[in-house]
Chains A and B, each alone.
Chain A
Amino acid sequence: MNDRVENTMIQEARHFETDLAVIGSGLAGFAASTFALNRGIRTAQAGNTGAVAYTTGYLDLLGRVHNEDVCPVTDPWQGLRQLRQSQPLHPMARVSEDDLRAAFREFTSFISDCGIIYNAPGQFNATALTPAGTLKPTLCVPATMQAGVDALARKARCVIVDFKGLRGFSARQVVANLKDTWPELRAERVLFPEMETGEIYPEVMARALEVPAHRQALAERIRAVVGDAEVIGVPAVLGMHNPDLVMAEMMRLLGRPIFEIPTMPPSVPGIRLREMFEQVFPQKGLVLIPQQKVDKVVFNADDLQLSLSDNFGPITIRAKAVILATGRFLSGGLTAAIDGIREPLLGLPVTQTASREDWYHLQYMDKRGHEIHRTGIEVDDKFRPLGENGQPVNDRLFAAGLILAHQDWIRGRCGAGVALASAYKAVEAVQELLR
């Protein structure tokens, strides 16, 4: 009885009116909201923000193209020209080079302005470090990782420092795999202040380093092992809300540059982006409903309505346009059953292979990549999802990000590229619709 009273007291239906609704809070969803905000479009965004925590912090445009062979891409713009030829249905092949540059520039300058500094997109891919000591081509890196890219290029005298108790990150591993080409690289291990025993977690360490005393303590321990190194690499734990400040402070304390190497997910650079967006978007007037899934979308003659609910009761959002950026299997934008793949929210047709047998090649690391990744939603040049008849399902419906068919973001190393390119074009089309 009491329970019910309490419930009815808390529960209240909430309703929002907006121009654009964005479903999904991965990179595509955040990028769409960013572009919409910059264009003065009233926006509401819903979707669990967990997905961003997977990203390393590197923003890839295009790292590999498949011709006869798989080649690493040095000049991604050149790579895109090849892609247009070899994979004309690839979502990025629908976006002009100028638009792509603009999308990356706009997105990186937005997040830089909001306190997480990224380099602007250049002409060439950077070669960045991974936690296994392998190398990854990527276009934009956060400022906290830039010194690593530079140190690698110069083969600088460098020490990688790791922390006892941090699983899955071994400085010795990074060094062992790079020492052939980078002789002046060495590994050291220190105890993280006040986390000396048992397992320790990047997120907790990053938050600890927001506190000056912890930075002092850590710097002392690193100084003890730094030797004649010109530059220091550490796992990505340099602060959560102020990474650039934390890095600058550590640099000052240690008297030389320090850089981050991504860790295994959940990774701090991803969590930083998420927390930044969650903080900044509402300040800029965007309605953000971060932890919930949209249950239903109903299209009317001149608008549409989203329904979802959270602990406090049902929520409805009425909008003029909607961008579906719900990702793939990992995020629930697509679901795979024993007999086929579906798009669960709207029941959109999914381009897929005839049988489950064709989802994967026999070899996991098959150079061609697996067909399963190329399954997805079909769109037109305005990034409107197409129905069975090949026509847009609804003029108010757009799609962006990894849910799109005809791309293999994993093998192409083009996750952010697909997300930003499609979000940019979808928002452009929304803007046109709203006019």
Chain B
Amino acid sequence: MVTHSSTTRQTTGRRTFETEVLVIGGGVTGAGILRDLALRGIHGLLIDKKDLCAGASGGNHGLLHSGARYVSNDLQSAVECREEGEILKRLAPQCIDNTGGLFVSVEGDDEDFAGKFPGFCLAAGISCQEISATEARQLEPGLSASTRRAFMVPDATVDPFRLALENVAHARTLNESIYRPHTEIISFDIEAGIIRSALCRDNRSGEELRVIARQYVNAGGAWAMNIAHLAGCRDVHLLYSKGTLLVTHDRLTKRVINRLRPPSDGDILVPGGTVSVLGTTSLRTESLDRVLPTVDEVNRNILEGAAMLPALAHTRYIRAFSRVRPLLQSVGDSDDRSATRGFALLDHQSQNLKNFCTITGGKLTTYRLMAEKAADLVAGRMANTTACRTAIDPMPGGDACRWTEPGASPKYWYQAHNTEDTILCECEMVPQSAIDQIIHCAPGAEEDMTLEAIALRSRAGKGPCQGSFCGIRIASYLYDRGYYQDRTGLIHMRDFFNERFKGQRTVIWGQQMAQMELAEALHCGLLGLDCLEDVCQDTPENE
């Protein structure tokens, strides 16, 4: 049943990959589909134009919704979240921190909404227990003195990076399914209602690759409409909403804190390991690329968030980031936040295509269900009758995937107790051995890795210094190991710092400003990474 993909070089000189299913988009949905198919014995190739979690999957709140957030305006989503949340807590506990959540209202919030909230939860089957404002402030001392009502719900947090990595790693173990980063879909070769092959480009080398598969799955998230267009399909209608989130330097609460009001700006604070994430704003956007946080969005989140947790007004922030939510256009259009957070699976029969489907929308929390639905369709089309197993089989934990877990690196490091294993990233305690393991065997490690790729697979660069200092240390370690042999390492360093900066730019004040000044003094003043073109050339009088 298992067929291995093979690579051949045709007369054109273009490399060709063969697989059973090409999955386009390395977010949690695509990763989940790869595994779901592998569990049914179907071989897949997953590609992403950048890398795992480059889209919404790498830029969300990390909230494993109990569903309570949606009880007032989207009952179906609320129920889906509840069910999926329970499954993930059971089967993929290594990716989840079962923190619990609170919904709180403060003075001035709509009393009526708060009154109806328990009823809404009951209807969705979500456990919801009211506690007094005093009790709430005992549980979470940071809550505002003007807290009015508080409800406990079973919210949790999820590490989407680890989730995606584990899915890909498991698929690889199951049947050698493949993940290939930096591979962008360019066009489809269609004949008589059948996609014969897909043309892809390796975005690092520029090389064009051909992929021949029996089925093609578009798991492109917000890009799904664009990808569908490449296949000539006009039946995916998406609008885009940009959300901006802030990462604090410290973890401010034990639990997820939601504002008890209809969804709005800056009303969720989600803990994640040693930090907290505040968000989000919601702004219509046309553009899918170059979505960057603005100073205005940052200020808005802080202003709103501080009503729940006054400390948010003066705490230290280390990062801001923005991603785009795809909004399925069929439902409501006046308010982006009330548009459905449900997902859509399109089989494109109406577009006269028999081996292409699109899955988009939804949530991180419901990614497994989305993958199941997509894999059901694909397997059915391939006459594979194996049932979905992802709601039954636990997700195995892969060693090379474990470095993304906040606060885990120090644990492994202390356990190993090896003084020779020097810490390279001090903020997050990432040791040399973690870097070694990642470059050897983490998913996507088959080809040359950049500092960005390593950071994606670990906590390196995610702490208060945002990689400013550990980036230098990791690069020099990689030179040391002979991994870098020429100036590539300098270029990777520069690109890594440039990339990390995008998330820092709007939250640089207070201590972050001091740190940024030091970082730039090192990167540019000392190492000259701002002038790499001429920095290694000789001065005239030397030659």
Q: A269 near B: Cβ within 8 Å? A: no
A360 to B494, CA, bound (A): 17
Beyond A72-B531, A74-B540, A411-B524, whether A336 also contacts B509 by CB under 8 A is yes
Which residues 70-124 in A have Cβ within 8 Å of B in the complex?
A: 70, 72, 74, 124
Q: A134 near B: Cβ within 8 Å? A: yes
- Set of chain A residues within 8 Å of B419, measured between Cβ atoms: 197-199
A431 to B458, CA, bound (A): 57
Interface of B is mostly: helix
A130 to B516, CA, bound (A): 20
A170 to B424, CA, bound (A): 13
Check if A364 sits within 8 Å of B497, measured CB to CB.
Answer: yes
Check if A54 sits within 8 Å of B521, measured CB to CB.
Answer: yes
Most buried by A among B523, B526, B531: B526
- Nearest B-chain residue to A162, judged by Cβ: B480
Beyond A132-B476, A136-B526, A357-B295, whether A177 also contacts B490 by CB under 8 A is yes
Smallest Cβ distance from B439 to chain A, in angstroms? 16
Check if B534 sits within 8 Å of A410, measured CB to CB.
Answer: no
Check if A176 sits within 8 Å of B530, measured CB to CB.
Answer: no
- Set of chain A residues within 8 Å of B484, measured between Cβ atoms: 173, 176
Beyond A54-B521, A74-B540, A153-B542, whether A131 also contacts B486 by CB under 8 A is no
The count of chain A contact residues (Cβ–Cβ below 8 Å) is 64
Smallest Cβ distance from A166 to chain B, in angstroms? 10
- Set of chain A residues within 8 Å of B292, measured between Cβ atoms: 362
Smallest Cβ distance from B509 to chain A, in angstroms? 4
A357 to B507, CA, bound (A): 10
A363 to B484, CA, bound (A): 25
Check if B527 sits within 8 Å of A132, measured CB to CB.
Answer: yes
Which residues 206-224 in B have Cβ within 8 Å of A in the complex?
A: none
Which residues 412-435 in A have Cβ within 8 Å of B in the complex?
A: 413, 415
Check if A181 sits within 8 Å of B536, measured CB to CB.
Answer: yes
Check if A415 sits within 8 Å of B536, measured CB to CB.
Answer: no
A178 to B518, CA, bound (A): 25
Q: B396 near A: Cβ within 8 Å? A: no
Beyond A132-B476, A170-B479, whether A199 also contacts B535 by CB under 8 A is no
Residue interface mask A298-310, B partner, CB < 8 A = 1: 0000000000000
A360 to B519, CA, bound (A): 14
A360 to B505, CA, bound (A): 7
Q: B381 near A: Cβ within 8 Å? A: no
- Set of chain B residues within 8 Å of A337, measured between Cβ atoms: 509-510
Q: A262 near B: Cβ within 8 Å? A: yes
- Set of chain A residues within 8 Å of B513, measured between Cβ atoms: 329, 335-336, 372
Check if B482 sits within 8 Å of A172, measured CB to CB.
Answer: yes
A52 to B523, CA, bound (A): 18
Which residues 275-295 in B have Cβ within 8 Å of A in the complex?
A: 292, 294-295
Residue interface mask B127-151, A partner, CB < 8 A = 1: 0000000000000000000000000
Check if A137 sits within 8 Å of B479, measured CB to CB.
Answer: no
Which residues 493-521 in B have Cβ within 8 Å of A in the complex?
A: 493-494, 497-498, 501-502, 505-506, 508-510, 513-514, 516-518, 520-521
A335 to B520, CA, bound (A): 17
Most buried by B among A56, A127, A176, A198: A176
Check if B475 sits within 8 Å of A173, measured CB to CB.
Answer: yes
Beyond A167-B473, A328-B517, whether A137 also contacts B539 by CB under 8 A is yes
A135 to B480, CA, bound (A): 19
- Set of chain A residues within 8 Å of B537, measured between Cβ atoms: 181
Check if B509 sits within 8 Å of A338, measured CB to CB.
Answer: yes
Check if A72 sits within 8 Å of B534, measured CB to CB.
Answer: yes
Q: A252 near B: Cβ within 8 Å? A: no
Smallest Cβ distance from B496 to chain A, in angstroms? 10
- Set of chain B residues within 8 Å of A336, measured between Cβ atoms: 508-510, 513
Smallest Cβ distance from B30 to chain A, in angstroms? 29
Smallest Cβ distance from A21 to chain B, in angstroms? 25
- Set of chain B residues within 8 Å of A328, measured between Cβ atoms: 517
Q: B525 near A: Cβ within 8 Å? A: yes
Q: B472 near A: Cβ within 8 Å? A: yes
Smallest Cβ distance from B231 to chain A, in angstroms? 34
- Set of chain A residues within 8 Å of B502, measured between Cβ atoms: 362, 364
Contact of A177 among B294, B423, B486 (CB under 8 A): B486
Beyond A134-B490, A177-B487, whether A367 also contacts B294 by CB under 8 A is no
Beyond A135-B536, A137-B539, whether A173 also contacts B530 by CB under 8 A is no
Q: A68 near B: Cβ within 8 Å? A: no
Q: A64 near B: Cβ within 8 Å? A: yes
- Set of chain A residues within 8 Å of B112, measured between Cβ atoms: none
Q: A9 near B: Cβ within 8 Å? A: no
- Set of chain B residues within 8 Å of A372, measured between Cβ atoms: 508, 513
Q: B522 near A: Cβ within 8 Å? A: yes
Check if A134 sits within 8 Å of B494, measured CB to CB.
Answer: no
Beyond A329-B514, A330-B518, whether A365 also contacts B530 by CB under 8 A is yes
Beyond A178-B536, A338-B299, A355-B295, whether A167 also contacts B541 by CB under 8 A is no
Contact of B521 among A136, A152, A410 (CB under 8 A): A410
A124 to B477, CA, bound (A): 34
Smallest Cβ distance from B522 to chain A, in angstroms? 7
Q: A168 near B: Cβ within 8 Å? A: yes
Q: B448 near A: Cβ within 8 Å? A: no
Q: B447 near A: Cβ within 8 Å? A: no
Beyond A168-B476, A330-B518, whether A132 also contacts B490 by CB under 8 A is yes
Contact of A365 among B476, B479, B518, B529 (CB under 8 A): B529
A198 to B531, CA, bound (A): 35
Q: B302 near A: Cβ within 8 Å? A: yes
Smallest Cβ distance from B248 to chain A, in angstroms? 14
Check if A170 sits within 8 Å of B480, measured CB to CB.
Answer: yes
- Set of chain A residues within 8 Å of B534, measured between Cβ atoms: 72
Which residues 175-210 in A have Cβ within 8 Å of B in the complex?
A: 176-181, 197-199
Contact of B494 among A357, A365, A415 (CB under 8 A): A365
A168 to B475, CA, bound (A): 8
A173 to B419, CA, bound (A): 23
Smallest Cβ distance from B487 to chain A, in angstroms? 5
Q: B350 near A: Cβ within 8 Å? A: no
Check if B539 sits within 8 Å of A72, measured CB to CB.
Answer: yes
Q: A169 near B: Cβ within 8 Å? A: yes
Check if A54 sits within 8 Å of B295, measured CB to CB.
Answer: no
Check if B536 sits within 8 Å of A330, measured CB to CB.
Answer: no
Check if A364 sits within 8 Å of B498, measured CB to CB.
Answer: yes
Q: A264 near B: Cβ within 8 Å? A: yes
Contact of B489 among A176, A355, A360 (CB under 8 A): A176
Smallest Cβ distance from B294 to chain A, in angstroms? 7
Q: A356 near B: Cβ within 8 Å? A: yes
Smallest Cβ distance from B287 to chain A, in angstroms? 14
Check if A131 sits within 8 Å of B541, measured CB to CB.
Answer: no
A107 to B480, CA, bound (A): 38
- Set of chain A residues within 8 Å of B505, measured between Cβ atoms: 360, 362, 364
- Set of chain B residues within 8 Å of A415, measured between Cβ atoms: 525
Beyond A127-B539, A336-B510, whether A176 also contacts B485 by CB under 8 A is yes
Contact of B420 among A137, A178, A197 (CB under 8 A): A197
Smallest Cβ distance from A132 to chain B, in angstroms? 5
Q: B59 near A: Cβ within 8 Å? A: no
Per CB-CB distance, the 4 closest pairs between chain A and chain B, nearest first, are A173-B479, A364-B501, A336-B513, A170-B476
Apart from A173-B489, A329-B517, A411-B530: 14 A-B pairs, beta carbons within 8 A: A56-B526, A64-B531, A132-B493, A135-B535, A173-B479, A264-B522, A329-B516, A335-B513, A337-B510, A338-B302, A357-B295, A364-B502, A409-B525, A415-B525
Give me 20 A-to-B residue pairs in the complex whose CB atoms sit less than 8 angstroms apart, sorted by A's number: A70-B530, A125-B539, A132-B527, A137-B539, A168-B476, A170-B480, A173-B479, A198-B419, A198-B420, A329-B517, A337-B510, A338-B302, A356-B295, A356-B506, A362-B505, A364-B497, A365-B523, A365-B524, A372-B508, A415-B525
